[in-house]
Structure formats: structure tokens, C-alpha cells
Amino acid sequence: MAPADLATLVTKARGGDPRAVARLITLVESGDPRLPELAGLLAPYAGDAQVIGLTGSPGVGKSTTVSALVTALRAAGRRVGVLAVDPSSPFTGGAILGDRVRMQEHATDPGVYIRSMSNRGHLGGLAAATPQAVRVLAAAGCEVILVETVGVGQAEVEVASLADTTLVLLAPGMGDAIQAVKAGILEIGDIFVINKADRDGADATYRDIQGMIGLAERAPGQWRPKVLRTVAAKGEGIDEVVAAIDRHQTWLREHGEWRRRRELRAAAEVEHIVVSGLRAEARQLGGGTRLSELAARVAAGELDPYTAAAQVRDALRGETPS
């Protein structure tokens, strides 16, 4: 697309043109050099969209649940965006989208935008791209934006830092409660959804999670995580999940958390852009502060990494000739 088209694309996306939305998200995902300009155009549309994070281990039924949630939200007349983020494969060029097939029932609904995003080879890329993709969807008029991540661990923490409400999906027999604690998900879930609740072990999983929530330290007035049961493949329990999301949103607004979470995630976003830029600068330093030369001396045991880091820092500050 021609460089001058950004403002036109944003205007078209505002008008609900799905191709304009798709092109803007591709631009964001690929780390296009015009991202700062695009960010300026999108800034006013940071918006009031509800951002819902959804995470869980492979096999718990994330795609099925997201699809069922989209159906319920559309039935209520709400415009929906879905970002399926796959941070677990930083090396390959694209996310594996086999299970995205389940989303195809929404493909022809003009009130739904569905998009997968992968890392495209640069670590930390998704952390920068996802907030901008959320802004594109908000600008396009999405009232609810579901951000689904694959995998366990660090990725969840980033979902939690992005979302207003974080849903953690579990399934019976997918690993005991200890594993949930290990993965750190107990601390990030606002709502726990035990999917495949018609299977053996669902009650035990429910009790385990309720028990751990009961044991967790919580300041007075803090949100107590909800635990719900669904059979997403049959649409069972999905309306209750939507209701719990809406109750959490009301709670966020009544407790000043709505604004606070948005400010925290804006701070994280700004910090991420600063750090990425500085990292790129550090790699381009010349002369004696060249990172590769310093690293060779550290590897040889001639220099310690903190002294090397101080030299890089001084060079970034412009205090030594490069």
C-alpha cells in the first residue's frame, strides 16, 4: 500500500471496512516503520472497548470457548474483535492455526473481526504489537475484544497486563491444581472457567481451584476470582461467563480499577517501546563500546558483564565517543 494511505486506512477502518482493519493489523504485526505515525492516528480511539484476556494450556478448549463467547456476545448485539496470539513459537514465521477452523462460523458476520498474530521472528514483538492491534479493533468499533493466548507461563502474565478482565481456562484431568499454581495462573485470573465440565474430575478441579482462591491473600475490597463451569462445545454455561465478565467490568469501574489498569498497561507499552529502541541503539554502537567486542572480552574472562554494561550505558548517554 502507498505510504500516504495510513490516514485513509484508519478512516476506512473507522467505517468498518474489514480489509482496512486487516491491513492495519498486518502493518502492526510486521513492525512497520510507520508504526509511530499510525499510533498517532489511533491514539484518540484508545476507547472504551472491554479487553478480555483468555488463556489456558493446550487442550482445554480455548478456541471452542472463544467461539461460543462470540456467539453469545453477538446475540446480545455487541461488536466483537478476536485476537488469537501465539507467542510460543518465536522462531517460525507463522502461528499454527489448525484450531482456528472453529472460528469460521463467524467469518461472514460483519460484526466480528477475527485475527491471529504470531511473533514473526522477533522476540518481544507481540508485546509491542498486541496493544496497537487492540487499538485498531477499538477504532473499528469493537465493543468487546477477546485476546486469546496459547501456552503457559510468561505469556499469561503479558495477557494479564493487557486485559481488563483475564479468563483462565482449565479442564478436568489436564494436570492438578499444583500445576496451576506453578504456572502462576492463580494470581492472574479474574475468572476461572472449568471447561469440559461434563467430564470426570470436573468437581475435583472446581473444589481445588475454589480452595486455592480461598487460601490466597487478598486485600479488603479486592476482587475475589469467580469459578465457573462450561461445556463450550454445547454452549453450556457460556451466558454465565458473559455475565461474570460484565460484573467484573462493573466492579473495575466502581473501584477505580478500570482507569488504573489502562494506565498501567499504557506505562508498560511506553516502557516497552523505549526499551526496544534502546536495545536497537545498543546493538548499533561502534568503536570500543561495540556490544560484540565487549561480549568477546566478557566471554574471555577479561571483563565482567556489569563493567561492560556501564560502558554501553555511557555510550548510549553520549558520554563517550563511539
**Is 262 among the residues that bind a second copy (CB under 8 A)?**
yes
| Binding footprint of a second copy, residue count (CB under 8 A) | 80
Question: In this chain, which stretch among 9-17, 149-157, 197-205, 220-228 interacts with a second copy, using CB under 8 A?
Answer: 149-157
Shortest spacing between CB 312 and a second copy, in angstroms = 5
With helix as H, strand as E and coil as C, how does the chain read? CCHHHHHHHHHHHHCCCHHHHHHHHHHHHCCCCCHHHHHHHHHHHCCCCEEEEEEECCCCCHHHHHHHHHHHHHHCCCCEEEEEEECCCCCCCCCCCHHHHHHHHHCCCCCEEEEEEECCCCCCHHHHHHHHHHHHHHHCCCCEEEEEECECCHHHHHHHHHCCEEEEEECCCCCCHHHHHHCCHHHCCCEEEECCCCCCCHHHHHHHHHHHHHHCCCCCCCCCCEEEECEHHHCECHHHHHHHHHHHHHHHHHCCHHHHHHHHHHHHHHHHHHHHHHHHHHHCCCHHHCHHHHHHHHHCCCCCHHHHHHHHHHHHHCCCCC
Question: In this chain, which stretch among 13-21, 64-72, 220-228, 287-295 interacts with a second copy, using CB under 8 A?
Answer: 287-295
Estimate to the nearest angstrom the gap between the alpha carbon of 164 and the chain centroid.
Answer: 11
Q: Which of 270, 284, 286, 287 binds a second copy (CB under 8 A)?
A: 270
Closest CA to 136 of 258, 255, 246, 19: 19
Q: Which of 8, 250, 307, 322 binds a second copy (CB under 8 A)?
A: 307
**Which 11-50 residues touch a second copy, going by CB under 8 A?**
35-36, 39-40, 42-47
**Is 212 among the residues that bind a second copy (CB under 8 A)?**
no
**Which 110-139 residues touch a second copy, going by CB under 8 A?**
123, 131
**Is 55 among the residues that bind a second copy (CB under 8 A)?**
no
Shortest spacing between CB 12 and a second copy, in angstroms = 19
**Is 201 among the residues that bind a second copy (CB under 8 A)?**
no
**Is 233 among the residues that bind a second copy (CB under 8 A)?**
no
**Is 101 among the residues that bind a second copy (CB under 8 A)?**
no
Q: Nearest 5 degrees, angle CA 289-CA 295-CA 301?
A: 120
Amino acid at site 242: V
- For the chain, the first-to-last Cα distance in angstroms comes to 38
If the CB atoms of residues 33 and 77 are measured against a second copy, the closer one turns out to be: 33
- Residue with C-alpha cell 478512516? 11
CA gap 89, 113 in Å, rounded: 23
Shortest spacing between CB 214 and a second copy, in angstroms = 17
If the CB atoms of residues 52 and 183 are measured against a second copy, the closer one turns out to be: 183
Q: Which of 72, 177, 212, 282 binds a second copy (CB under 8 A)?
A: 282
**Is 213 among the residues that bind a second copy (CB under 8 A)?**
no
If the CB atoms of residues 18 and 151 are measured against a second copy, the closer one turns out to be: 151
Shortest spacing between CB 150 and a second copy, in angstroms = 7
Written as nine digits, the cell of 270 is 511506553
Q: Which of 93, 220, 318, 321 binds a second copy (CB under 8 A)?
A: 318
Q: Which of 1, 7, 204, 296 binds a second copy (CB under 8 A)?
A: 296
**Is 177 among the residues that bind a second copy (CB under 8 A)?**
no
Question: In this chain, which stretch among 69-77, 222-230, 234-242, 260-268 interacts with a second copy, using CB under 8 A?
Answer: 260-268
**Is 100 among the residues that bind a second copy (CB under 8 A)?**
no
